[in-house]
């Protein structure tokens, strides 16, 4: 297997409070944040990955959460400084920022630290929805955060937005999208709200719009974004020209990445095998031994399914050569199944890509390869 590109994900596991729909590894912050302790742990964690970094460079970094923007620009500068010798010439370095936390820090500081892409978690522009989602920010915080970031010099900016919210109408969903577009981000991640097991919303489900309304929202939302120059390149990702998220593209093309921080996941390929790594989820346990990594080799029979689960999310898909390059398997391994899904109208006959119908029924499509 020939694998070159490498990404790094660093997880920041604390939030001001836990949102009722969220199943990410996030923990309500009780007491004050010990930035130093966590930064030291990340440095130790990173140090333990030196064997992976040998002969390879990191092209994208994602500082995700949780709420990374609870950490100061100085903290981010320390982490990025520790990474510098491993980075390519023009790395993409993204940080997630929650409106409602950023007023404490100046965006110019994050930019100076080396962050060059921001992802702002707006979620909705409707005050009642923000409340139902348990968010700590109000609508004004969103536009203030985006304007401050743009003024500070961030020219690569994503807005996270959700649709299919409680009792949401088509007009309301499109209204949210239009407000996001009006702020002029280069990228919009537009996610359908999903009810994740073991969350507060799973215990007490909100009244969601029916499937037909959701389907209409999707089509109308896609049109609206297209009219404003946002190209849909993945199920939920829309970008202006040149602003596709390189970090996520690496995931979707089954590239390698190191995961550091509490609960972070990684995926690495050696000559013969693909190994998934993860770190202890509880910050307390992670801090006790940041080098502790749980490794799980992917059964070669499962690699095809994992590859397809990622690659088929991309609207344009990937070349067949990419399949061999990333999985080490010949195309003939999947040729029969591929022909079957193409006959069903779910995949393109000569490229690893889902059709419009396949994208609409992605879970069913991927099942064929699992
Ligand atoms: C890592 S999360 C959180 C980032 C940041 N802490 C925030 O909440 O603004 C990234 C994005 O996933 C989306 N998301 C989280 N939970 C979701 C759910 N249950 N359904 C759909 N989208 C979800 C939200 O849009 C969120 O901004
Ligand atoms: S702020 Fe983001 S990561 Fe934290 S609980 Fe809410 S959705 Fe999850």
Cα 348 to averaged position of ligand 1 atoms, centre (Å): 31
| Mean pLDDT for the chain overall | 95
Ligand at minimal distance from the CA of 120 is 1
* CB-based contact 156:184 (threshold 8 Å): no
Residues 156-183: tens digit of each pLDDT: 999 999 999 999 999 999 999 999 999 9
Residues 29-83: tens digit of each pLDDT: 999 999 999 999 999 999 999 989 999 999 999 999 999 999 999 999 999 999 9
Ligand at minimal distance from the CA of 64 is 1
* CB-based contact 246:199 (threshold 8 Å): no
Mean pLDDT value across residues 127-146: 96
Per-residue pLDDT at 105 exceeds 80: no
Residue (of 67, 215, 65, 193) closest to 130 by Cα position: 193
Q: Give me the pLDDT at residue 303, please.
A: 93
Per-residue pLDDT at 4 exceeds 80: no
| Residue among 19, 24, 26, 122 whose CB has most ligand 1 atoms within 8 A, to mutate | 24
Per-residue pLDDT at 131 exceeds 70: yes
Q: Give me the pLDDT at residue 103, please.
A: 67
Residues 318-359: tens digit of each pLDDT: 999 999 988 989 999 999 999 999 999 999 999 999 999 999
Q: Give me the pLDDT at residue 5, please.
A: 76
Helix 170-182, helix 211-227: angle, nearest 10: 30
Indicate yes or no: pTM above 0.95: yes
Per-residue pLDDT at 198 exceeds 60: yes
Indicate the Cα dihedral angle 124, 129, 130, 133, nearest 10°.
Answer: -110
Q: Is 173 exposed, middle or buried (0-12, 13-18, 19+ CB in 10 A)?
A: buried
Share of the chain above pLDDT 90, in %: 92
Cα 136 to averaged position of ligand 1 atoms, centre (Å): 14
Q: What atom of ligand 2 comes closest to residue 21's alpha carbon?
A: 7
Specify the residue with its C-alpha closest to ligand 2, atom 8. Answer: 22
218 lines ligand 1 (CB under 6 A): no
Res. 104 pLDDT band, cuts 50 70 90? low
Res. 101 pLDDT band, cuts 50 70 90? confident
Cα 22 to averaged position of ligand 1 atoms, centre (Å): 7
Per-residue pLDDT at 2 exceeds 60: no
Per-residue pLDDT at 241 exceeds 80: yes
Q: Give me the pLDDT at residue 3, please.
A: 53
Mean pLDDT value across residues 105-113: 93
State the chain's maximal CA–CA distance in angstroms.
58
Q: Which residues does 276 contact at the CB level (< 8 Å), separation at least 6?
A: 265, 266, 267, 295, 296, 297, 298
Q: What angle do CA 263, 318, 314 make, to 5 degrees?
A: 55
Ligand at minimal distance from the CA of 27 is 2
Using DSSP bridges, classify how beta strands 187-192 and 157-163 pair: parallel, antiparallel or unpaired.
Answer: parallel
263 lines ligand 1 (CB under 6 A): no
Per-residue pLDDT at 1 exceeds 70: no
* CB-based contact 286:279 (threshold 8 Å): yes
Cα 301 to averaged position of ligand 1 atoms, centre (Å): 31
Cα 22 to averaged position of ligand 2 atoms, centre (Å): 6
Q: What DSSP element (H or E) covers 10?
A: strand 6-12
* CB-based contact 226:239 (threshold 8 Å): no
Per-residue pLDDT at 117 exceeds 60: yes
* CB-based contact 369:305 (threshold 8 Å): yes
> Can the peptide bond before residue 350 be classed as cis, meaning omega within 30 degrees of 0?
no
């Amino acid at each position: 297997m020939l694998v070159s590109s490498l990404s790094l994900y660093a997880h920041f596991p604390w939030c001001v409070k836990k949102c009722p729909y969220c199943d990410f590894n996030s923990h309500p912050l009780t007491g004050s944040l010990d930035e130093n302790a966590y930064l030291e742990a990340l440095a130790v964690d990173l140090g333990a990955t030196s064997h992976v970094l040998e002969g390879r460079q990191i092209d994208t970094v994602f500082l995700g959460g949780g709420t990374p923007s609870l950490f100061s620009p100085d903290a981010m500068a320390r982490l990025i400084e520790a990474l510098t010798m491993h980075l390519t010439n023009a790395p993409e370095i993204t940080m997630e920022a929650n409106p409602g936390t950023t007023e404490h820090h100046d965006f110019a500081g994050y930019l100076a630290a080396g962050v060059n892409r921001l992802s702002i978690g707006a979620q909705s522009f409707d005050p009642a929805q923000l409340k139902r989602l348990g968010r700590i920010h109000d609508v004004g915080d969103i536009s203030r955060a985006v304007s401050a970031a743009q003024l500070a010099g961030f020219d690569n900016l994503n807005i996270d937005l959700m649709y299919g919210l409680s009792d949401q109408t088509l007009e309301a969903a499109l209204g949210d999208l239009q407000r996001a577009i009006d702020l002029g981000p280069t990228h919009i991640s537009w996610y359908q709200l999903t009810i994740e097991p073991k969350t507060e919303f799973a215990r007490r489900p909100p009244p969601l719009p029916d499937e037909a309304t959701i389907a209409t929202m999707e089509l109308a939302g896609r049109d609206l974004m297209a009219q404003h120059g946002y190209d849909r390149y993945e199920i939920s990702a829309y970008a202006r020209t040149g602003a596709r998220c390189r970090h996520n593209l690496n995931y979707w093309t089954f590239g390698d990445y190191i995961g550091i921080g509490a609960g972070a996941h990684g995926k690495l390929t050696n000559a013969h095998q693909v190994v998934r790594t993860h770190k202890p989820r509880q910050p307390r346990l992670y801090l006790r031994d940041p080098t502790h990594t749980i490794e799980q080799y992917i059964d070669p029979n499962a690699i095809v399914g994992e590859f397809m689960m990622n690659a088929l999310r991309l609207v344009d898909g990937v070349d067949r050569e990419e399949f061999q390059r990333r999985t080490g398997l010949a195309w003939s391994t999947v040729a029969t199944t591929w022909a079957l899904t193409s006959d069903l109208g779910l995949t393109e006959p000569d490229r690893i890509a889902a059709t419009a119908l396949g994208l609409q029924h992605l879970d069913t499509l991927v099942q064929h390869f699992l």
